[in-house]
A and B are shown apart, each in its own frame.
Chain A
Amino acid sequence: MLRKINHSLIVFASFCLFLFVVSFFIKDVYFPSDILYYFPIFSASHWQSPHNSLLADPVFQFEPWRHFMKEQILNGRLPLWNNLNGLGVPFLANPQTAIFFPLTAIYILFPLTQGLFLMYSLKVFLFAFFTYQLLRNFSLSKRSAFLGAFAASFSSFFVTWLHWPHTNVFLFLPIMLLLVERVRKAKNQIIWLILFSLSSALAFFGGHPETFFQITLVVAGFSAFRCLRNKKTLLLLGAYGFLGVALAGVQLIPFLEYLFLSSQLYLRSFYTISNSLPPVSSIQLLFPFVLGAPHQSYYKSFPTTNFQESAGGYVGLVLLFLALAAVVRLSKSTLIRFWTVIAVASVGLAYAIPPFSIISHLPIFDENVNQRFIAVFGYSVILMGSIMIDCILNDKNGRTKKLILVSTGISIACILISFFLPRLGILMNITAPQKFLILLRDHIILQLISSVLFLNTLLFMRRNKFIQFIFLCIFLFLQTGLLFWDYNPFTKKVDYYPEATLTKKLQSLPTGNILELGNPSLRAESNMIYHLPLLKGYDALGVRKYDLVLESAFPDRNFWGNPEDVSENALQALGVKYIVSDFDLRLIRQRVNHETTTLLPKLTKNHTFLVELTPQHTRVRGIRLLTANYNRANSCIVTLTILSEKSSLKSGTFPCANARDKMFYFLPISVDLDIHKKYLIELTSNGSESNSIALWGASTPYLDVFYENTKQSFLKPLSQEAGSYLFLYPKAEDIRYSGEYSFLYHTSGEVQIETASDKAEVMEIKMTNYPGWRVTIDGLPQRLEEDNVFLTFPVPSGNHLISARYLPKSFLIGILVSFASGLFLLLKLFRTIYRSSWWETKWKNLNVLAKRSGKIPFWEHAVVIFFGIWCAIITYLLFFSLYKIHFTMPETTSINWLTVHNYPRQQDYFYFSTAFAYILFIAIFIWILWLWKKSK
């Protein structure tokens, strides 16, 4: 047993080391930040097609959060608060930040390129490794287990959601299942139970509570199923699982507080969320590319869902077939029965199939995105398929031969039909492009051929024939890995959150809250990378109190959730300083058509649009459309003509290259109209099918007309570039206070302001009033006005120093809960180890070792320890001469030697603690090695 563990550990360590070495040679960034080119401000000079249009959240949320977290931690601060979005939102309380997830530490410690690569590749490897261990635990042969693990690592859910925290959590499904098995089988359960607790905590720290809920259900079901006759074990599993959740208290308790104060929970309690997949999309469990794929040349999604969601259960056609075969052939196996139930229930929940759809109406389930149970289905298929593979490999009587021959026959028939797919498409007048039909044909043929080859290789595979095993892996890879090979792309370093003219401009201006109007220019949360405070937040929770104020201030919103109009009152109330808009805000807007539900036919030579206009003002200065560019660089020209009684009044041409997907496109045109007349706006293009843009609308295109405004605007234009206008609202203030004030410093969770006023008055700091904020005036605590959405409190007359600091009670309680449960688990662990037979044996072995080594003079031990210390010092120095960590100076008003010399003190703590621990560990380790060798 020990040897097996050692062997696994060696494989584990070797692969980790391998990934570490590989990371040195990685030049590009393993991150899809090229998606930013969708936004006009980033693609003004050159537009390039983003590799995968679906990988938005990682770019707009997870990476900015990680970046912010890294900065804060290296500044010696725990990021409790995000001051850059929504006038401040809790940061640590948002579990999706995955701040305590172990792989996040890699990102923090390593340079960007290596950190990202290692973080994601290790995640995949760990998932495969633990799936292998789980399958081995189900008594499967090494090869069957390896095939299962191989399929798991390339399974659709894990690949398509790799950049999301969902997979951080899902990674713990095999780990927790494995631990349940170990607990069930072990004589000494405590250690496995403690590991189970730890896994539960880490699964929560993974950062996605919904996925955590889903895997908890599966693990609970599995525990109940496996320990049905051993209620004590079941109870222990429950108790230690609960302890694990308590261990995550440091983030769980602040999260619960945030959840109950969030807009998201409030909205979900009123509106039914779309939490199931359309049944028709189940075809993607067989052929995921049936409507193309976002990283391929053609992609469409099923209604109400997208590729990631609907294809999440795909694990390979052959495995699905084998899982079905397992259900038929191995129906007596309790394990297969259990996973069949889980697979059926998961599919039922994901597609809302009765009677499982009833569960969707139960509490928690009704607010949970049940469609992601499809991932559990996929994992069940992998487990069942692997068991079937093992059964076939061990089948000496050839019972499965018939099954495989039948499947081969069906597959060959399907392949033949597939060959005619493009032609059938033309005959049946299917609108999809021919290129896609060819892709679909190739995809289906590849799936079927690789399935046939896999099954037949499996059937005729001889034991210990390595080459056949390699082929099995290749065929499996053709079904999974190859399909999703470049789903998650590498991007060039220059494309990692590139500097745009607008971001540079905003960075050069004095800090102020930014409001986006119309198009998303600097999409919420990605602003964190640029250290630009944005009025909008997008952390999937949102402080309800603030969101309500924001909503009432800007009621007119577009489909991006961005305001379409501003009022001076709203800007003043929210302290907005800068406005980024896709149109000139000084103009008057007339809404001609505001429907955006349908993508109208392409604007080509053969297809023009005519929109009737009854002008409300006289001087037209431009019109605004909502475009689609099909994710390609189009070179066509759009012609806009304003017609009066069929004669052209004015026309202008505009390049298609400036049009973006579902983005507003402002076409400047100057013409004077009569408000008593009716006009026609004609939109034509010289484009072809493959070089054209389309317009969103309903029956007619979405259209706004802009007129010149004679009134003085309250906004001051700052710049106009790349389809975006930047305005300054000069009266904006971060603080409502008539006296004099100045910011001493403004960090993520702390603000210090110096004030001077002749009279006592109320101060309002434009920062979300969230539980945990404490204000002191000259060091004395000051009560906050609870009802106000911002930090509001009375300030006496005179000169004062006001400090506002965020340190929520929920976080402190969480620390206590985590500490208590951690201490209990540690105590249990050490007591168990101390009393275990393993320890007794080790103790005896140690006795033997001690006897043998008794003759070694003490000075030799000392020399070895000295040698170890020097080795450790040298390697430590070498490591840190290669990896230089950059520490930044924390913001402070303090004047001392450190601030005078600009010396970040946290680096001393870091180097001291790491060096001391490392030297001690290495010295002892070398001594143990020496002693072990000596005693031999």
Chain B
Amino acid sequence: MEKKQIILLLIEVFCIFFFLFFIGSGIVSSPIYGDINVIDEGQFGAWVSHMLRGEHLYKDTYAAYGPLYIYPSYVLSKLFGPSLFLIRIVYIVCSVFFALVIVRLLMHTLRIRYPLQIFTVLLLLIIPGVGMRQGIGLLTILLCFIAVKGMRFRWFIAAGLSLGCSFLISTEIGIFSTVICGLLFFIELIAAKKPLIILRRFALFIFSLVFLLSLFFHWADREGWFFYYFSSTLDDLVTYSGINLPIGKNFPNALVLIPQSWSIIKWVKYIVSKELLLYWIYFFYIITFCFLFIRTVLRKAKGDDLLIFLISLYGLLLSMILIGRSGHFSFTLAPVFIIVAFFLNQLMPLLSHGRSRYEKFFMIFFTAILILFSVRIASIYYPHFPKVLLLPSAIMSDKNNPKYVGPIFISAPQAKSFFTIQNFIEKNTLPTDAVFFIGNEPVMYLIVNRSNPARFDIPEVASIKEKRLEIVNNLTRDKTKYIIDDSQAWSADEVSNWQRLPEVRSYILKNYTPRRLENFTIYERDAEK
């Protein structure tokens, strides 16, 4: 590597880090400013809070992610004390930075032009949702690819360890990565003249995977929550692939959304609508597979084509989650943007050296589609862009934040609501008391520093009756003094938690008396009960 390149790389790393720290991913969430996302950030806060109180993940508190995704913030909180600022550092700065590094590495391996790499990184910075989970899957694929190409033992070991990590970060990412790695090894075994050589290396890959997982299993078993981890992971996989998923809607039907008139504006709006963008994603995957097939048949395939094929396949598997949760589409965009960059990389030379007018026209057309797609996705988050202007005041202002928020510049209403609930709980309960928040606001457990009588910090997760009754049993057993409902809490899929949890609702209405406290309704347990 030349000195100039190293300097460029360092500048780039600094810029990304600077961007993430000050502006943040998805523009809105930086450790400096931006309201707390009471669900996504909040759940990490709740987990850290519970774990610091001696509770175990999976056993005492429900978590949909792997332990390796949650433990870093727990360890840091143990060192520096729990705060949402710390959680943002971990999940906005470190996690996104990790994912971006992997994306850059992948694009470097694919020999994509530098400006396109920067363009992709910028896009991924703007779009929220790219993090360690997507990154670890991409890293596993990259390591497997390098291992298979180089046939070096160390890469096989690294790939195995990476796969192990991906399982421990997120089970579904682990499964997707396993499918991709399995396919890659399968392809190699087909083509190998001496399959035994591959099998030996494959055995090493398996060994490193098993080694890492056994270490984890041993540790989890000693702490007494391995069984709970295993059963809740299985339960999650079954729940999220079936009808019982807590959050999820139908996949938008493009035919239903077709405009009823021939107005061009309506049609353009329809084509670039958020719902249709989902179809665009699948369209890109189809195009990629066709492109790779054509290249193979026409003998124009290059070594990197296998990697782009694996990334596309990974992206396709990742995008399967959109079938039930189309709102989560930003989580699946990293592979799509790599593909977009790959295509733009292919098209750029043709734009300048096209042989005919048709060719040029087509290349311009296709490039325009790719750029339009990228810009349209970025534009979805445009309401957040002006908030960047708040940055100077966020840095300069004197932050009188509630406890456990840290030096984040949050809006006055949010700060007020945190203060209200914090003061109320501190006044009316003991530190050993549990409080139950029926809205989807797990962050409150950290803010009030109280435990949850039930496992579910986001109550909507208790979608099936078994889990709903578990909450009722927990509330009965614990005789929880206060149950708090925030009228402004977000209801997933327009189905409120009162509607989702009828047993809990009737239990509360039977045993508790409500009273208003600003935005909150405080349900206090009736004395005789």
Residues of A within 8 A of B (CB): 76, 744, 752, 754, 778-779, 798-801, 803, 823, 826-827, 830-831, 834, 846-847, 849-850, 853-854, 857-859, 861-863, 865, 869, 877, 889-890, 892-901, 903-906, 908-909, 912, 916, 919-920, 923-924, 927-928, 931
CB distance from A851 to the nearest CB of B (A): 8
Closest 7 CB pairs of A and B: A893-B465, A859-B362, A897-B493, A894-B244, A850-B299, A830-B190, A908-B251
Residue B466, interface by CB 8 Å: yes
Tell whether, in the assembled complex, residue B251 and residue A900 are in contact, meaning their CB atoms are under 8 Å apart.
no
* Residues in B neighbouring A892, C-beta threshold 8 A: 243-244, 464
In the complex, B3 has a CB within 8 A of chain A: no
Query: Do B286 and A752 touch (CB < 8 A)?
Result: no
- Which residues of A sit under 8 angstroms from B323, Cβ to Cβ? 905, 908-909, 912
CB nearest neighbor in B for A843: B299
Q: Is the Cβ of A931 less than 8 Å from the Cβ of B297?
A: yes
Q: Give the docked Cα–Cα distance between A912 and B323 (Å).
A: 8
Report Cα–Cα, A311/B226, bound state, in Å: 63
Q: A801-B465, A905-B248 are in contact. Are A859 and B495 (CB under 8 A)?
A: no
- For B358, give its contact among A76, A859, A920, A923 (CB under 8 Å): A859
Pairs A–B under 8 Å by Cβ, sample size 14? A799-B473, A827-B189, A831-B189, A846-B299, A857-B356, A858-B359, A859-B363, A865-B290, A894-B463, A896-B246, A898-B248, A899-B243, A903-B249, A920-B286
**Given A779-B470, A849-B297, A903-B250, A896:B189 Cβ within 8 A:** no
Task: State whether A900 and B499 are in contact (beta carbons under 8 Å apart), knowing that A779-B466, A850-B297 are contacts in the complex.
Answer: yes
Whether B186 is near chain A, meaning CB under 8 Å from some CB there, is yes
- Kindly identify, within residues 293 to 344 of chain B, every residue whose CB is under 8 Å from any CB belonging to chain A: 293-294, 297-300, 320, 323-324
Number of A-B contacts (CB under 8 A): 149
B94 interface residue (CB < 8 Å to A): no
Note all chain A residues with C-beta closer than 8 A to B251: 908, 912
Provide the residues of chain A in CB contact with B285, threshold 8 Å: 916
| B27-63 interface bits toward A, Cβ cutoff 8 Å, 1 = contact, 0 = none | 0000000000000000000000000000000000000
Residues of chain B within 8 A of A893, CB atoms compared:
464-466
Indicate whether B102 reaches chain A with its CB closer than 8 angstroms: no
CB closest chain-B residue, reference A923: B290
Q: Is B427 an interface residue (CB 8 A)?
A: no
Q: Which B residues, 433 to 448, have Cβ-Cβ distances below 8 Å to chain A? A: none
Q: Is the CB of B495 within 8 A of A896?
A: yes
Contact B355 A916 (CB under 8 A): no
B243 touches A905 (CB 8 A): yes
Q: In the complex, are the beta carbons of B243 and A897 less than 8 A apart?
A: no
- B191 lies within 8 A of chain A by Cβ: yes
Q: Which residues of B contact A827 (CB under 8 A)?
A: 186, 189-190
Report the nearest B residue to A834, measured CB to CB: B190
Given contacts A853-B298, A923-B290, contact A908 B250 (CB under 8 A): yes
Q: Residue of A at shortest CB range from B195?
A: A831
Contact A896 B242 (CB under 8 A): no
Q: How large is the interface on B (under 10, 10 to 19, 20 to 34, 35 or more residues)?
A: 35 or more
The answer, among B190, B195, B463, B465, for a CB contact under 8 Å with A754, is B465
Taking A865-B290, A889-B243, A924-B290 as given, write out 8 further A-B residue pairs in contact, using a Cβ cutoff of 8 Å, ordered by the A residue number.
A799-B473, A799-B476, A830-B186, A830-B190, A869-B286, A897-B248, A897-B493, A916-B285
Smallest CB–CB gap between A740 and chain B, Å?
Answer: 14
Contact: A857 with B355, CB < 8 Å? yes
Residues of B within 8 A of A803 (CB): 466
Q: Which B residues are in CB contact (< 8 Å) with A877?
A: 255
Residue ID in chain B nearest A865 by CB atoms: B290
Minimum CB distance partner of B244 in chain A:
A894
- B494 at interface (Cβ–Cβ under 8 A)? yes
Is B415 engaged at the interface, CB distance under 8 Å to the other chain? no
Closest to A778 in B: B470
Q: Roughly how many angstroms separate A752 CA and B469 CA in the complex, as a whole number? A: 12
Contact residues in A for B291 (Cβ distance below 8 Å)? 865
Report the minimal beta-carbon distance from B38 to chain A, rounded to whole angstroms.
20
Tell whether B489 is near chain A: CB-to-CB under 8 Å.
Answer: no
Decide if B294 touches A908 in the complex (CB within 8 Å).
no
Minimum C-beta distance from A412 to chain B (A): 66
CB distance from A376 to the nearest CB of B (A): 39
Q: A778-B466, A892-B464 are in contact. Are A831 and B190 (CB under 8 A)?
A: yes
Chain A residues with Cβ under 8 A from B224's Cβ? none
Across the interface, which residues of A come within 8 angstroms of B366, CB to CB? 862
The minimal Cβ–Cβ distance linking A771 to chain B, given in whole angstroms, is: 20
Q: Report whether over half of chain A's contact residues are helix, strand or loop; otherwise say mixed.
A: helix
Question: Is B350 among interface residues, defined by CB-CB distance under 8 A?
Answer: yes
B86 at the interface (CB under 8 A from A): no
B298 lies within 8 A of A923 (CB): no
| Chain A residues within an 8 Å CB radius of B121 | none
Distance, CA A96 to CA B247, complexed state (A): 40
Nearest neighbor of A931 in chain B, beta-carbon distance: B297
Report A524 CB to chain B, min CB distance, Å: 31
Q: B495 touching A900 by the CB < 8 A rule?
A: yes
- Cα separation A912 to B252 with both chains bound (whole Å): 11
Question: What CA separation (Å) do A844 and B238 show in the bound complex?
Answer: 47
- Asked if A919 meets B242 with Cβ closer than 8 Å, knowing A897-B494, A898-B249, the reply is no
Interface residues of B in 441-500 (CB under 8 A from A): 463-467, 469-470, 472-473, 476, 492-495, 499-500
Q: How far is the CA of A893 from the CA of B243 in the complex (A)?
A: 10
CB pair B248 A896 closer than 8 Å: yes
Contact A890 B242 (CB under 8 A): yes
Please give the distance in Å from B465's CB to the nearest CB on chain A.
Answer: 4
A190 to chain B, nearest CB (A): 13
Enumerate chain A residues within 8 angstroms of B186, measured Cβ to Cβ.
823, 826-827, 830
CB distance from A902 to the nearest CB of B (A): 11
Within 200-250 of B, Cβ neighbours of A (below 8 Å) are at 242-250
**Residues in B neighbouring A927, C-beta threshold 8 A:** 290, 294
Whether a CB of chain A sits under 8 angstroms from the CB of B72 is no
Q: Is B280 at the interface (CB under 8 A from chain A)?
A: no
Contacts known (A754-B469, A894-B244, A903-B250); A920 close to B289, Cβ less than 8 A = yes
B65 within 8 A of A: no
From B297, B359, B463, B465, A859 is in contact (CB under 8 Å) with B359
C-alpha gap A893/B462 in the complex (Å):
11
Q: How far is the CA of A573 from the CA of B74 in the complex (A)?
A: 56
Q: When the two chains form the complex, which single residue of A830, A895, A920 contacts B463, counting CB atoms closer than 8 Å?
A: A895
Q: Chain B contacts of A905 at CB under 8 A?
A: 242-243, 245, 248, 250, 323-324
The reply to whether the CB of B502 lies closer than 8 angstroms to some CB of chain A is yes
CB-nearest residue of chain B relative to A781? B231
**B257 interface residue per 8 A CB criterion:** no
A859 to B189, CA, bound (A): 35
Task: Check A799 against B189 for contact (C-beta < 8 Å).
Answer: no
B255: min CB distance to chain A, Å: 8
Q: Once the chains bind, are B282 and A916 in contact (CB under 8 Å)?
A: yes
**B287 interfacial contact with A, CB 8 Å:** yes
Are A76 and B499 in contact (CB-based, < 8 A)?
no
Residues of chain A contacted by B467 (CB below 8 angstroms): 779
Tell me how far the C-beta of A863 lies from the nearest C-beta in chain B, rounded to whole angstroms.
Answer: 7
Residues of A within 8 A of B190 (CB): 827, 830-831, 834
Known contacts A850-B297, A919-B286, A927-B294; decide if A896 and B358 are in contact (CB<8 Å): no
Contact yes or no, A76 B189, CB < 8 A: no
Q: Give the residue of B191, B243, B350, B466 whose beta carbon is less than 8 angstroms from that of A76.
A: B243
Contacts of B249 in A (CB 8 A): 897-898, 903
Measured CA separation A894–B472 after assembly (Å): 16
Query: In whole angstroms, how far apart are the Cα atoms of A863 and B255 in the complex?
Result: 24
| CA gap between A931 and B294 in the complex, in Å | 10
Query: What are the residues of chain B within 8 A of A798 when measuring CB–CB?
Result: 473
Contact, CB under 8 Å: B286 / A895: no
Q: Are A896 and B247 in contact (CB under 8 A)?
A: yes
In the complex formed, the residue of B with least CB distance to A900 is B495
Closest chain-B Cβ to A294's Cβ sits at a distance in Å of 46
Cα separation A576 to B323 with both chains bound (whole Å): 44
A683→B492 CA distance, assembly (Å):
76
Among A853, A890, A908, A928, the most chain B Cβ lie within 10 Å of the Cβ of: A908
Q: Is the CB of B463 within 8 A of A896?
A: yes
| Measured CA separation A865–B195 after assembly (Å) | 36
